[in-house]
């Protein structure tokens, strides 16, 4: 269970009191693409579902793609053979919120259960992350995380996108204006609503500003427990798109909308806390005062604890095998192809305060010891935050369990070059092949059922793309071949 939201009910009595003036409730679960799928329920049906510990929810949400096309190669969860049977949706009372843009209707997230086994559905994003977080707890750790989204704003609507055939779209503002104090004033109400409505919705925002690119914003969500962070990140996208409708604006979390401009990241910050609340990645007070560990192999890691080094080694060892969970779409890899030129990492690298590396080490001497953490810079804004966090913590915890040593030094150290570093997959096809390989770290940490199902969904995505005739092809070949 994630960290409860403020005012989350802990009993049926508290729930009934919270809903005393309501006649309906909105609920949603999360599919493999990170899309919220849900509906409105009458209050009486909702309360009945809570009392009976679940209600039926069509499994087709795990049997079709992001545009509701059923997977031609049917997968285990939902298919014609089982009649696209119902799953059991379990309402998570700890996620209680109200939708400020939708008549303040009460809202709850759900997790999905296999009705035959009574166990959490093996591809349910919230359940996958819950299992990984539990692994951390079994080792004595609380998984902590933060997320940052870069996202374009377009002065468009779903209707105008269709009329324009998704070409020649109008950015909210022109030009490259990162960290601009001037640009937000052109859309002042919208810019501030993104922050203020998020806060009303129970999503604490740490930073909010323009990023370089036409109409690009960046929003950093406040650090919290990993399960709550994933909920906040997923719901932030819903909130931004809903607020945008009010202003005729469409925010897009697509990783690379423009080929010649930087893409949109979804950087994830991670750390572990012990049962006293101490940051596990931080060195001891004595080591901190002494200027770091005396036996540190590298200057960049002198303020990183032994557990922190093992976790970092786990990230480096497993990163290439879990990339589809960080970069899940065809378009994700157009961002990675920018490489260091656009601060989009394409190698398994690390470095202290290095934005050219896949993993940026943050901590002393530039930050407090309690703030020691890793910023994983591979994910794009199009990530499913549940799967991305699951992958990052799972491979990091694997590093601690196996006490993996750092395989090489930080970026820029002797002998560490782009030629010597592990290369990350730069297409969804190659990433999926690595992900589903028999020897993949992904199979070890997440299990065969999950890997086979998710790999099947990505192979579907690759096949749909392979058959598509793009505008680029038409412009290049139509006249001259």
Local structure of 288: helix, strand or coil: helix
CATH number where 23 lies: 3.10.20.70
Question: What percent of the chain is modeled with pLDDT above 90?
Answer: 93
Residues 171 and 98 in one domain: no
- Of 121, 151, 184, the position where a domain reaches its end is 121
CATH number where 230 lies: 3.30.590.10
Residues 158 and 297 in one domain: yes
Q: Is residue 4 part of a domain?
A: no
The pLDDT of residue 221: 98
- How many Cα atoms within 13 Å fall on the side-chain side of residue 351? 18
- Of 90, 121, 152, the position where a domain reaches its end is 121
Residues 106 and 149 in one domain: no
Residues 186 and 84 in one domain: no
The pLDDT of residue 185: 95
Q: Is residue 448 part of a domain?
A: yes
The pLDDT of residue 341: 57
Note the pLDDT tens digit of each residue in 7-57: 999 999 999 999 999 999 999 999 999 999 999 999 999 999 999 999 999
Q: Is residue 449 part of a domain?
A: yes
Across the chain, what does the average pLDDT equal?
Answer: 96
Domain count, the chain: 2
Note the pLDDT tens digit of each residue in 247-296: 999 999 999 999 889 999 999 999 999 999 999 999 999 999 999 999 99
Q: Where are the beta strands (DSSP E) in 336-477?
A: 350-352, 359-362, 373-376
The pLDDT of residue 80: 83
Residues 21 and 169 in one domain: no
Q: Name every residue whose Cβ is closer than 8 Å to that of residue 440 and which is 6 or more positions away in sequence.
A: 321, 434, 451
Q: Is residue 131 part of a domain?
A: no
Residues 181 and 257 in one domain: yes
Q: Name every residue whose Cβ is closer than 8 Å to that of residue 399 and which is 6 or more positions away in sequence.
A: 310, 311, 312, 313, 314, 315, 317, 318
Local structure of 352: helix, strand or coil: strand
Q: Is residue 365 part of a domain?
A: yes
The pLDDT of residue 83: 86
pLDDT score of 434 more than 80: yes
Q: Is residue 412 part of a domain?
A: yes
Residues 336 and 444 in one domain: yes
CA nearest neighbour of 29 among 107, 98, 102, 85: 107
Residues 205 and 103 in one domain: no
Residues 55 and 186 in one domain: no
Q: Is residue 1 part of a domain?
A: no
Note the pLDDT tens digit of each residue in 182-224: 999 999 999 999 999 999 999 999 999 999 999 999 999 999 9
pLDDT score of 92 more than 60: yes
Tell me how far apart the alpha carbons of residues 104 and 414 are, in angstroms, rounded to a whole number.
57
Residues 103 and 177 in one domain: no
The pLDDT of residue 340: 62
Domain with 255 in it: 138-472
- Of 93, 121, 149, the position where a domain reaches its end is 121
Residues 300 and 417 in one domain: yes
Q: Is residue 127 part of a domain?
A: no
Predicted confidence band of residue 332 (pLDDT cuts 50, 70, 90): very high
Residues 98 and 147 in one domain: no
């Amino acid at each position: 269970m994630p960290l409860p939201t403020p005012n989350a009910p802990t009993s049926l009595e508290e729930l009934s009191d919270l809903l005393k003036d309501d006649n309906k409730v909105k609920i949603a679960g999360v599919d493999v693409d990170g899309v919220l799928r849900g509906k409105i329920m009458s209050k009486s049906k909702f309360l009945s579902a809570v009392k009976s510990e679940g209600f039926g929810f069509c499994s087709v949400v795990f049997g079709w793609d992001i545009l509701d096309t059923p997977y031609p190669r049917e997968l285990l969860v939902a298919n014609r053979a089982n009649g696209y049977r119902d799953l059991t949706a379990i309402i998570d009372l700890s996620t209680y919120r109200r939708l400020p843009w939708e008549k303040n209707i009460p809202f709850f997230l759900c997790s999905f259960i296999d009705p035959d086994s009574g166990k959490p559905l093996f591809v349910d994003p919230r359940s996958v992350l819950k299992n990984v977080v539990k692994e951390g707890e079994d080792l004595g750790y609380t998984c902590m995380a933060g997320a940052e989204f870069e996202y374009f704003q377009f002065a468009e609507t779903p209707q105008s996108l269709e009329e324009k055939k998704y070409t020649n779209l109008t950015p909210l503002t022109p030009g490259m204006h990162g960290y601009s104090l001037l640009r937000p004033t052109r859309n002042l109400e919208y810019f501030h609503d993104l922050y203020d409505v998020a806060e009303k919705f129970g999503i604490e925002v740490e930073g909010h500003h323009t990023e370089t690119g036409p109409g690009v914003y960046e929003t950093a969500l406040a650090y919290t427990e990993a399960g709550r962070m994933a909920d906040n990140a997923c719901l932030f996208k819903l909130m931004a798109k809903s607020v945008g409708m009010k202003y005729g604006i469409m925010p897009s979390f697509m990783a690379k909308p423009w080929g010649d401009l930087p893409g949109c990241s979804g950087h994830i910050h991670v750390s572990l806390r012990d049962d006293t609340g101490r940051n596990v990645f931080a060195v001891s007070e004595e080591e901190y005062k002494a200027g770091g560990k005396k036996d540190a192999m590298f200057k960049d890691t002198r303020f990183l604890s032994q557990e922190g080094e093992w976790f970092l080694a786990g990230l480096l060892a497993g990163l290439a095998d879990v990339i589809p969970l960080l970069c899940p779409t065809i378009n994700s890899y157009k961002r990675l192809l920018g490489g260091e030129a656009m601060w989009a990492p394409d190698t398994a690298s690390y470095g202290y305060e290095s934005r050219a590396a896949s993993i940026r080490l943050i901590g002393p001497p530039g930050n407090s010891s309690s703030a020691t953490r890793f910023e994983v810079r591979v994910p794009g804004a199009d990530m499913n935050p549940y799967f991305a966090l699951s992958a990052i913590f799972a491979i990091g915890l694997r590093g601690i369990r196996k006490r993996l040593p750092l395989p090489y030094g930080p970026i820029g150290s002797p002998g560490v070059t782009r030629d010597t570093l592990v290369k990350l997959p730069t297409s969804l096809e190659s990433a999926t092949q690595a992900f589903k390989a028999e020897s993949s770290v992904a199979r070890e940490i997440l299990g065969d059922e999950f890997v086979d199902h998710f790999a099947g969904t990505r192979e579907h995505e690759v096949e749909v793309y392979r058959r598509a005739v793009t505008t680029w092809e038409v412009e290049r070949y139509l006249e001259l071949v």
